[in-house]
Every structure is written in structure tokens, then in C-alpha cells.
Amino acid sequence: MRMSVYFAPTMKEAPAEAEVPSHKLLLRAGYIRKLASGIYEYLPLGLRVLRKIENIIRKYMDEAGALEVLLPILTPAELWQETGRWDVYGKELFRLKDRKNRDFALGPTHEETITDLVRKNIHSYKDLPKNFYQIQTKFRDEARPRYGLIRGREFIMKDAYSFDISEEMAVKSYEIMKETYHKIFSSLGLDYIMVEADVGAIGGKYSHEFVVKVPNGEAHIVYCEKCGYAANVETAKYEFELDKLPPEDEKPLEKVYTPNVSSVEDVAKFLNVDTKKIVKTLVYILSDGRKVAVLIRGDRELNETKLINYFKVLDCRLATSEELKEMNIVEGFVGPIGLNLPIYADISVKDLHNFVIGANEKDYHFINVNIPRDFEPIEFVDFSTARENDPCPVCKAPLKETTGLEVGHIFLLGTKYSEAMKAYFVDKDGKEKPIIMGCYGIGVSRLMAAAVEQSYDENGIIWPEEIAPFKLMILPLNIKDEKIKNKAEEIYKKALDLGIEVLIDDRNISAGAKFKDADLIGIPYRIVIGRKLKDGIIEFQKRTGEKEEISINDIDNLLEKLK
């Protein structure tokens, strides 16, 4: 391809709204353009990267025996109503009406659609197992579309769905996908980690996320260098037994005056005790309307995902100041004694002695509180967010914490969709049973951004070879010099004949401008033809920085190696 006729509009500066490196660089290097919030156009370079990612995914999905289909983006509301997700999905679902006023949604995911296909066409154990996948545009009206391709409202996903006749077979399908994902993400040239993920209502060990490690990523994970355990901070079990304070004799309960001190740090300072001895009382409103009080030790953070799973609700939030007032609760001094709410406690509060709580009275706290003497929670539950240095739940070594981008998610669904939609099969014993399902997603367009987040420098992108839009770039530094131009054209032609994906910068612009663009675009290898050509020398450069002068007689060897 020739830069003189290509379309890779580079920019000196990224728009101010681009905050993260991948967003800035993909815009500046001419890979993508924004049409509207969370909606992007893929320019020729961007599309090439996307296709490379898709092809690697396709190769391993096909190898694993999954069958590629392409389902409609426009999906009728009836399907979503069958599973209840027409309501559950809320505002994230893009809804529209046809000319006859019938409701439709733009598919954010395709469990309903694929289950409909299967229930209509697969009826016997003889037709199972099956795994269908597609690579397709998805639509989600995200509350906060941001970071360019990382969180879009229109994005490309690979989604796959497995259908099995038994739990055991479904687990097998799940394990095959897990292995396949490892192959895919290693082949993409990414540094990633597989973590145990939140399984929601299903339980068990069958949800994993694949996270590309990047600084400041949205996913927070903890992992153990010693035994290899890795999990989402929302999922990681908190080993409180190893983080407990030593036992103490119970002291008498006392109410103390604590004027204007309500934050954990302030109370700890005022009373001169460790934050571990302050117990926070949080009032939560669950999405089903229930109100609960949750206690947690002052040094720990409550994890709302754990809370949502425990109470089996869709969402939860802290009560507002107004709501606390309506409940006659004194904000800043909430405590479990005398509180008219169901009280639950994080396990960090278990076996804690002589601790401090709010007294439900302005400017007062109780000290020397003890369970069960002074109050008793309904249950101790693991609500804690895991963090660096917590003991590993498997081998007890201190955990490490890192952030990343979730690029893949696999999930054993069980019979949630097949039962709701009556996708049954007739088993060997002649009985009708619901099909056991799994679902497996990969954020294809997010991967493009994740690769950049992992590999760039101050001058631009440094693509992993596996997904670079081109492998080689040829830079004739001065096109007006016939010798340079002709040599460049000769090498370009040879590279094309060898099947190398090559881009030649045949534009009549300065050498400096060519280098700038080449750095920005980030093609892995470069052949630079400049003044030294008269001495029979050209330069071979890698985008990672290494440079080497080579004789023009060695060009054939070099190209052969790049093939």
C-alpha cells in the first residue's frame, strides 16, 4: 500500500476529551474517528487491525469446533420479554419501534436470539453438543461511554454459546473454551491474566475473566505470585482469620462524647485507637426496596458486588441523607445498637473485641462494644473488597494487586435461558430436559485499545507483530532523489511479491514528517533509504528502537526473514 493514496489522517494533538493513551493514539495515528459519544469509525488502518484480531479469534474458535453464525442485530422485544430482560436491562438496551409500532432492541448480547434458534431447530440429544459463535457489532447505551474503544456504545464482540445435554458435558465445553481463550490471547501478543470472576446467582467455579494488564485499568484484580491464584477484587475471598486482632477481655460498654468526629480516621484519631477497631455502619437500599444495615471494620472497603450477590438483587446503593433522615437515622453516627433495620456484618467484624460504633445520636459513639453481648448481627458475610497484601485464599502468601482491562468473559449459564425459553431436548431415556448453556464473550474492538495500552511510547503506537496493520514500512527519505525513489520502489515490489504486508511512504514530504508518522502508526519494521544509499547502505529499524545499517546486497535476505 502507498501512503500517497492511502487514508491515514494523522494529527499532532489528540482532542482534549481523549484521556487514555489508546484513545489518544488511535485517533492521532488515523486508526479511528469519532462519530458520536461511544460510536467510532474504523479507518483503513483500524480496520486492518480489527480484521487481524478477528482472524486469530476465528482460527482458534473454529479449531475448537465452534460454528460461526451471524445473528440479526435487530431483535424483537418478545424474545427479551420471555426471559424478563426487556425490563432488567433497563436503559442500557437500545430500543426502537418498527412502522407497525412493534418493539425491537439492538442486540447488546445474544443469549435470547441464539436460544430461540436452538429451541426451534435442535430437539434431540443426538444433535448436541453444539457451540455457535459470531463476530458482530453490539449496542449498549452505556451510562458512561469513555476511553474510546474501551467502553463504546457500539462495539464489536465475539460471542459464543454452548449447548450441552448434561452438567458434566457443559463443564467440558466450558473448559475447552477456557483453553481456547488462552490460545487466542497469547496469539494476540498480549500480557494477560485469567481471573476467577463473579458468578452471580449461579455459583460454582465457572466464570472467568481474561484481563489484559494495564496501569489504571477498570478491572481490579488480586493475584498470588506463589501459587498462581488470581481473582477479581469482587470475587476474591477475604481470609479474615489471618487478619484478625488478638483476643481481648471484654470491657464495659461506654457512650462517649465525640463532637463533630464521624469519619473512621477522625474517630480513630480522636479516641486514639486503630482504625481496625472502628466499625462502620452502612445503610443500603437494595433494588427490591429492602433496607439493610451492613457493618464493616474501619480499615476495610465494602464490595457492592458481594452485597448484591448475597441479597440476590440486581443492584444496591447507599441511602441518601434525606432517606436517612426519613428513617430517623443520624448521619455520621449510625450504629447497630437500637437501630431499627436488619443488621448484617462483614466477617472482618467477627471476633472483634472492644470496638467502636456510632451511637445513633449526634456527636456520640459507643466504645468497648462486643458481640453478642451488646447486639447481634443476623449473619457474618464476606462483604470485603480484596486488596494488596491480603492473605491468598489458597496458599496464604500476601496477594498482589493490579489493574487491567477485561477483554474476555466466560460463563457457565446452566439452564437460566433454556428454562425461561423452553429450549428442551429429548434425552436418551426419552425424557425432555432443558439444555445446559454456557456463554463466552471477547471484546474485539476493546482488544485493539488494550493492545495499545500495553505497548506504546511518547512517539506513538508499538503494535505487537501479530496484529499490526502492516508488517513493514518503507521510508524513502527523499522522493526527489531518483536513485532513492527507484531503490525504494524496487524493495517495495519485492516485498509485495513475497507476500509481506508492506506500506511505502512515497509522499513528497520531509524525512522528519515521515519518521513522525511512522512512529505514530507503529508498524513493527522499517526499511529506511536515505543519503547513504550512494555507499550501498540502507537502514533496518524496529519500532521498538533497534537500528542496524545493512548493505543493499543483503536486502533479499532481510525480506526473506520478514516473510
d(C-alpha 500, C-alpha 17), whole Å: 37
Binding range to ligand ATP, per CB under 6 A, among 113-121, 299-307, 339-347, 438-446 = 438-446
Contact yes or no for 75/104 (Cβ under 8 A) = yes
Cα–Cα distances (Å) from 425 to 65, 395, 429, in that order, read: 21, 43, 11
- The residue from 52, 119, 297, 409 that contacts ligand ATP (CB under 6 A) is 409
Cβ closest to ligand ATP, residue 135 vs residue 357:
135
- The residue from 24, 119, 130, 446 that contacts ligand ATP (CB under 6 A) is 446
Cβ closest to ligand ATP, residue 49 vs residue 357:
49
- Closest contact distance (angstroms) between CB of 19 and ligand ATP is 15
Collapsed DSSP state (helix, strand, coil) of residue 559: helix
Q: Is 83 in the site for ligand ATP (CB under 6 A)?
A: no
Grid coordinates representing 394 are: 489458597
- Closest contact distance (angstroms) between CB of 136 and ligand ATP is 11
- The residue from 155, 240, 333, 540 that contacts ligand ATP (CB under 6 A) is 155
Grid coordinates representing 260 are: 463533630
d(C-alpha 371, C-alpha 377), whole Å: 8
- Closest contact distance (angstroms) between CB of 68 and ligand ATP is 17
Q: Is 335 in the site for ligand ATP (CB under 6 A)?
A: no
Residues in the chain: 563
Q: What is the DSSP letter of 10?
A: -
Cα–Cα distances (Å) from 223 to 193, 231, 385, 391, 397, in that order, read: 9, 6, 13, 10, 10
d(C-alpha 469, C-alpha 43), whole Å: 11
- The residue from 29, 157, 341, 555 that contacts ligand ATP (CB under 6 A) is 157
Contacts of ligand ATP in 87-116 (CB under 6 A): 109
Q: Is 514 in the site for ligand ATP (CB under 6 A)?
A: no
- Closest contact distance (angstroms) between CB of 27 and ligand ATP is 16
Beta bridge partners, 220, equal 403
Q: What is the DSSP letter of 298?
A: T
Q: Is 152 in the site for ligand ATP (CB under 6 A)?
A: yes
- Closest contact distance (angstroms) between CB of 384 and ligand ATP is 21
Contact yes or no for 120/423 (Cβ under 8 A) = no
Cα–Cα distances (Å) from 509 to 4, 40, 101, 133, 314, in that order, read: 10, 29, 56, 46, 58
Q: Is 52 in the site for ligand ATP (CB under 6 A)?
A: no
- Closest contact distance (angstroms) between CB of 38 and ligand ATP is 7
Cβ closest to ligand ATP, residue 140 vs residue 277:
140
Binding range to ligand ATP, per CB under 6 A, among 311-319, 358-366, 367-375, 404-412 = 404-412
Q: Is 404 in the site for ligand ATP (CB under 6 A)?
A: no
Q: Is 406 in the site for ligand ATP (CB under 6 A)?
A: yes
- The residue from 407, 412, 472, 523 that contacts ligand ATP (CB under 6 A) is 407
Cβ closest to ligand ATP, residue 211 vs residue 352:
211
Grid coordinates representing 386 are: 480484596
Cβ closest to ligand ATP, residue 277 vs residue 446:
446
Q: Which residue has the cell 513475497?
A: 498
Contacts of ligand ATP in 132-151 (CB under 6 A): 140, 142, 151
d(C-alpha 474, C-alpha 9), whole Å: 18
Within 8 A by CB and 6+ apart from 84, the residues are 420
d(C-alpha 509, C-alpha 476), whole Å: 10
d(C-alpha 415, C-alpha 423), whole Å: 9
Cβ closest to ligand ATP, residue 57 vs residue 294:
57
Residue whose Cβ sits closest to ligand ATP: 443
Q: How many helices (H) and strands (E) does the chain have?
A: 14, 31
- Closest contact distance (angstroms) between CB of 155 and ligand ATP is 4
Neighbours of 291 (CB within 10 A): 15
What does the binding site for ligand ATP look like in residue numbers (CB under 6 A)?
109, 140, 142, 151-152, 155, 157, 406-409, 441, 443, 445-446
